[in-house]
Amino acid sequence: MRNSIQSLAAPGFVGVLLAVGIQGCCFGGSSTPPVITPPPIAPPGTPPGGGAVAVPSAAPQAITLGAGFTPDPTVVAVTAGGPVAGSTMGAADGWCAGNYPAAAQINLTLSAALPNLRVVGRADQDTTMAIRFPDGHVQCNDDGGGYPNPALDIPNAGAGAYQIYIGSFSSMGQGVTANVAITTNATLAPTGF
């Protein structure tokens, strides 16, 4: 008797028993399984109770800002990292840590010159930043906002197109969401947005 009970409890037999039971064959149910409608799923990035949270976009985000722009800071969510080695980004001093996407995540157009522009990244992993200026030169940063967050200050930022890349220092930061603040506040820290 004990052996027959053990054979009935074997995983294969239990699976068959469950499958038959779901179909209603032997347990008095109908032959059609019930339809269960799950509750609606909120869009990605929606916190419990609603509210707006920045969700990283796979496509480059185009932003145009001018003198007195609002909100200040303007915050954009991106996915950090990519296949391009920082050493190939073309920084004037040759130093650019991290791995970057092939295309900028943020295409920023300044419609007017600003006395100060600060770009700050914030993420849970070690991220890096590269900015290509309107004249084509590149500046990079690793922990200018305090580890693990990059920050670059651009005094007398001229009007034009800036390409902002957020990289990852190592493979651990690949694919992590990073929030990027663009501000005229020269002291904005990663904890301030």
Label each residue of 138-189 as H, E or C: EEEECCCCCCCCCEEEEEEECCEEEEEEEEECCHHHCCCEEEEEEECCCCCC
Q: Which residues of the chain have pLDDT under 50?
A: 1-54
pLDDT reported for residue 142:
93
pLDDT reported for residue 173:
62
Query: What residues does CATH 2.60.120.380 cover in the chain?
Result: 61-192
Does the pTM exceed 0.85? no
Domain 61-192 coded CATH 3.40.50.2000: no
pLDDT reported for residue 95:
82
